[in-house]
């Protein structure tokens, strides 16, 4: 363990505000992201009782959804419009008059819901140990089969507020893979456990 690491100018811990969130089919949205949770999972346990004793055994690993909040600048990117497009492309249609029976049969499908988002990455930025002075990503989470689920909210209007309008939604996914930046090569690090 390094001694007196707090006195060394070369030690730079990861910082929460240094990140990029990327949805490949949401063009140029990186700069409107306000907050995003990193992937998380829960490992359950099952107790087994024998006479006066209880023994616990690990169960399943289940990945949990993450929350994303975007600022809605309206131009050149309308965040609310993009989120609505993702939901429509996933299979949701309004039950408007004159839509016909075909419209009523439409529903959200996993393939459509995941394909229209594309690749989703959360990248922690910082300076690597490479000779380059440019900031690179230190680690990266990739979400597999992500889709929008749960509550989607489009902010709250208030006369006494000067806050920027936001759009908040939740991403569900099947599993996530964690990689570190190693030897100046992205993706050469460790991998998080994958749920079956």
pLDDT in tens, 164-177: 999 999 999 999 99
For the chain, give the mean pLDDT: 83
Report CA dihedral (100, 105, 106, 111) to the nearest 10 degrees: -150
* Residue 133 neighbours by CB under 8 Å, 6+ apart: 127
Among left, alpha and beta (phi > 0; psi -120 to 50; other), residue 183 is left
Whether the per-residue pLDDT at 12 is higher than 80: the answer is no
CATH of 15-180, one of 2.30.110, 2.40.340, 2.30.30, 1.10.10: 2.30.110
Q: State the Cα–Cα distance between residues 161 and 168, nearest whole angstrom.
A: 18
Look up residue 45 and give its two tokens. Answer: 């346990």
pLDDT of 99 reads: 61
Burial of 173 (0-12, 13-18, 19+ CB in 10 A): buried
* Res 181: pLDDT: 75
The answer to whether 153 and 168 are in contact (CB under 8 A) is: yes
pLDDT at 53: 95
Percentage of the residues of the chain whose pLDDT score is greater than 70: 81
167 close to 84: Cβ distance less than 8 angstroms: no
User: Average pLDDT for residues 13-36, to the nearest whole number?
Assistant: 89
Mean pLDDT of 10-28: 86
| pLDDT, mean of residues 60-85 | 91
How far is residue 42 from each of residues 60, 64, 144, measured CA to CA in Å? 8, 7, 17
Question: Average pLDDT, stretch 123-135?
Answer: 66
Residues 6 or more apart whose CB falls under 8 angstroms from that of 9 comprise none
Spatial contact of 57 and 34, defined as CB atoms under 8 Å apart: no
Whether 104 and 121 have beta carbons less than 8 Å apart is answered as no
pTM (whole model) above 0.85: no
- The dihedral through the CA atoms of 166, 108, 67, 35 has a sign that is negative
- Where are the domains positioned within the chain? 15-180
């Amino acid at each position: 363990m390094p001694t007196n690491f707090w006195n060394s100018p070369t030690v730079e811990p990861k910082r929460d505000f240094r990140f990029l969130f990327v949805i490949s089919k949401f063009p140029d949205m990186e700069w409107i992201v306000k907050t995003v949770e990193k992937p998380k999972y829960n490992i359950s346990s099952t107790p087994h009782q024998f006479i006066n004793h209880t023994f616990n055994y690990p169960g399943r690993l289940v990945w949990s959804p993450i929350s994303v909040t975007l600022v809605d600048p309206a131009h050149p990117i309308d965040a609310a419009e993009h989120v609505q497009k993702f939901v429509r492309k996933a299979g949701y249609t309004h039950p408007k008059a004159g839509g016909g029976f075909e419209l009523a049969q439409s529903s959200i499908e996993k393939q459509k819901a995941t394909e229209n988002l594309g690749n989703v990455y959360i990248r922690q930025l910082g300076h690597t140990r490479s000779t380059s002075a440019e900031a690179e990503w230190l680690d990266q989470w990739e979400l597999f089969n992500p889709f929008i689920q749960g509550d989607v909210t489009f902010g709250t209007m208030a006369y006494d507020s000067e806050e920027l309008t936001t759009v908040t939604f939740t991403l569900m996914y099947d599993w996530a893979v964690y990689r570190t930046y190693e030897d100046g090569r992205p993706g050469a690090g460790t991998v998080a456990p994958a749920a079956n």
